[in-house]
Amino acid sequence: MKFLLAVSSQEFSESTLRMGSKVAKSFGAQLAVVYVGPKPKELYAGRVSLARDTLAKWEIYHPGIEVLRWAFDDLKTSGFLENSDDNGFNPLNMVEEKDRYRMALPGSYGQDIDLILREGDIIDELRRECSEDEYTVSIIGGSKGRNMAHDLLQYLPTSVLVMKNVNLDHHYRILLCVDDSSATDRAVRFGATIAKQMNFPVTIMTVSKTEEFGPGYSGAAEAASQHLESQQVDHEQKFITGDPVNSFIETAGEDHLIVMGSSSKSALAKFFLGSKPMKTLEKANCPILVVRDK
C-alpha cells in the first residue's frame, strides 16, 4: 500500500505532514511526499531552467527541494523514518523522470518513502503522479480554493484525505458516516484501522432524510458496528433524521476526523449536481477522509 502526501511549504504543510504520516503508518503504508510548485510560463521555461542550473552550482536549489528537505527531516524527527547517522538527503540525487523529479534515497529510506518534485497545477500534477504509481490514498492540506473539493473527488483516482483545520495536540474522534453506498464497506475498514492504530474512539452515524431507515441504511450501520466490535474499537452509534451533509458537519465540529465513502453517482452527475462527500468536504471544518470503492 502506498500513500501520496502533497506538501507546499513548512508553514502550510506541517500539520498535514505530521498527521498524514501517522495515518500512513497506521496502515503500514509507504509514503510518497510530493511537492507541487508553480510551473514557470512555457514561454520562459528554458531561461528559468538556465538560471536554476547556475543557482545549483552555488548550492542554491529549487524551493521545492528545500521543502522536501524539511519534510524528510521532519519525518525522521517524528519517528516515521528511522533516524540513522546517514543523512540520506542529497539534492544532487534528484533524478529527472519524464515529467517529475524524484530523489534517489539510500538504504531503507528508499523503501519507506519517495521524495518527488513536480511543477504545475496541483490537481493535474497529483493526477499525473497517480498514473505513475499505485496510490491508495492522497493526502493534502485544506485549501480555501472554491473548486478544490470538487476537483479532488472528481479527478483523483484514489481515496482522499484532506487535512482541514488540523490541531496536532487534539485527540480526535472519528465520525464514521455510514449509508447504503457501495464505498461504505471500505470506509468502515479504513476508519477502523485508523481508530485502532491511533486510539481514536468512533461515532458511527447514519442519517436519513425521512423518519424511516431503510434496510440498506440499517444493515450498513449494523455491519459497521460489528466490524468495529471485532477490531475492539471503542464506538457509539447514532441514527439521525435530517439533511445528511449538515448533520455530518454539525456533529463533526472541529474535533472529529470524518470518514465516509465516495459517491457512486456518475461523473457527469457529480460534475453538474455535486455529491454528498463533495458538499461535506467543502463545508467541513475538520480533517476528512473520503474512501473510494476500490
Partner 1 sequence: MILNIIYWATQRKWLLISLFLATVLYLLPTPQGLTAAGYHTIIIVLSTILLIIFEPIPLPAVAMLILVFQVLFGIATPNQVASSFMSDAVFFIMGSLMLAVAIVSQDLDTRLALGIINITGHKTWRIIAGFVAVCALLSSFIGEHTVTAMMMPVGLTLVRHTSRDPKKVAGLTSLILFSIAYGSAMGSIGTPSGGGRNVIMIGYLSQFGMGNLTYLDWMKYAYPILLIEIPLAIMILWWTFRPEKMILDSAVRKLKVQVARSGQITGSQITAMGVFVLVFLGWVFLSPKIGLGIVALMGVVLYLAMGLVEWQDLNRNTNWGVIMLFGSAISIGIQMKDTGAALWVANNVIEGLQVITSNVDFSRSFVSIFLTAGLTNILSNAATVAVLGPIVLNMGGNAVMVALSTALASAFAYLTVVASPTCMIIHSSGLVKPSDYLRAGWKMTVMSITVLLLFIHLFWPLMG
Chain residues in the site for partner 1 (CB under 8 A):
37-38, 40-55, 57-58, 60, 62-64, 66, 121, 124, 127, 154-155, 266-268, 271
β-sheet bridge partners, residue 30: 2
Closer residue to partner 1 (CB): 121 or 255: 121
Q: What DSSP designation does 233 have?
A: -
Nearest distance, CB of residue 62 and partner 1, angstroms: 8
Nearest distance, CB of residue 167 and partner 1, angstroms: 23
Nearest distance, CB of residue 201 and partner 1, angstroms: 37
Residue closest to 261 by CA, chosen among 192, 180, 169, 168 = 180
Distance CA 168, CA 165 (A): 10
Closer residue to partner 1 (CB): 4 or 207: 4
Closer residue to partner 1 (CB): 52 or 171: 52
Helices (H), 94-234: 107-112, 122-132, 148-155, 184-198, 215-230
Nearest distance, CB of residue 53 and partner 1, angstroms: 7
Distance CA 291, CA 159 (A): 5
Closer residue to partner 1 (CB): 38 or 253: 38
Closer residue to partner 1 (CB): 232 or 266: 266
Nearest distance, CB of residue 14 and partner 1, angstroms: 15
Distance CA 78, CA 292 (A): 29
Q: Using a CB cutoff of 8 Å and minimum separation of 24, what contacts does 117-120 make?
A: 117/34, 117/35, 117/37, 117/62, 117/64, 117/65, 117/68, 118/34, 118/35, 118/36, 118/37, 119/36, 119/37, 119/38, 119/39, 119/40, 119/64, 120/36, 120/39
The three grid cell numbers given for residue 233, joined into one nine-digit string: 474499537
Closer residue to partner 1 (CB): 66 or 180: 66
Closer residue to partner 1 (CB): 41 or 209: 41
Residue closest to 280 by CA, chosen among 238, 255, 247 = 247
Nearest distance, CB of residue 6 and partner 1, angstroms: 16
Nearest distance, CB of residue 128 and partner 1, angstroms: 11
Inter-residue contact 286 to 167 (CB < 8 Å): no
